[in-house]
Amino acid sequence: MALKLIIGNKNYSSWSLRPWILLSEAGIPFTEERVLLDTPATKEKISQYSPAGRVPVLVLDDAVVWDSLAIAETLAERFPQASLWPSDPAARAHARSISAEMHSGFMALRDAMPMNCRAMGRKVALPEPVTNDIDRIFDIWGDCRDRYGEVDGWLFGQFSIADAMFAPVVLRFRTYGINLPDKACHYPARLLQSDAIQNWLQESESEVEVIAEDEKGN
């Protein structure tokens, strides 16, 4: 089965990172096409693959899938041997819940802390809605470690869709220097050890495009 992933700028596109790291960590072969975001031609180029006009888009032999969570669910169905969800039903329900929460929530954090891998050390204001989002993420990571994560450091013991969904948050916290409490420091350290995430960071740092809206802070 041939897979092609359409992504945006690696420095900025948190949504693109999710299926990219999922495919990379799972060892599923794919090719990628990068479409520059925030240009006059962006939507037209992406619309060649998806009517939504947004990245990421996964092109398979017989289907086109857009939206990061839909892509993740499709990959879990097409590659059951990759065990992209936990095998235990209770753990799987938990993983789906926090993945959906990440997918649809944390808007204050997203707005205040746009993903920007190159902007190490940048600082932004952290009003109460943002700190509430940060604290909730700390609670999620701490709870997962207490229940499942001590084996290999991933949220559910081995790499899963949940880790792909939270990967951009780890990079945001890295960029903006968010202090991690003891209960939440293990998971980011594990993710940053990933060869896939290190490759993403290296490639993002080599990009030269700038999206002004995502250059907030000082």
**Is the model's pLDDT at 26 over the cut of 80?**
yes
Please report the pLDDT score of residue 62 as a whole number. Answer: 85
175, 119 Cβ separation under 8 angstroms = yes
pLDDT tens, residue by residue, 147-196: 997 678 999 999 999 999 999 999 999 999 999 999 999 999 999 999 99
Q: Which domains does the chain have, with CATH numbers?
A: 4-82 (3.40.30.10), 89-203 (1.20.1050.10)
**Is the model's pLDDT at 31 over the cut of 90?**
yes
Which ranges of the chain would DSSP assign to H, the alpha helix?
A: 14-26, 42-47, 68-78, 89-104, 107-112, 128-147, 161-176, 186-192, 195-206
pLDDT tens, residue by residue, 59-98: 999 899 999 999 999 999 999 999 999 999 999 999 999 9
Please report the pLDDT score of residue 158 as a whole number. Answer: 93
For range 24-34, the mean pLDDT = 97
**Is the model's pLDDT at 42 over the cut of 80?**
yes
Please report the pLDDT score of residue 137 as a whole number. Answer: 98
- Single-letter amino acid code for the residue at 53: G
In percent, the amount of the chain with pLDDT more than 70 equals: 99
DSSP class of 158: B
Name the band, by pLDDT with cuts 50, 70 and 90, for residue 1.
confident
Name the band, by pLDDT with cuts 50, 70 and 90, for residue 218.
confident
Q: What is the mean pLDDT of the chain?
A: 95
For range 96-120, the mean pLDDT = 97
SS3 at position 59: strand
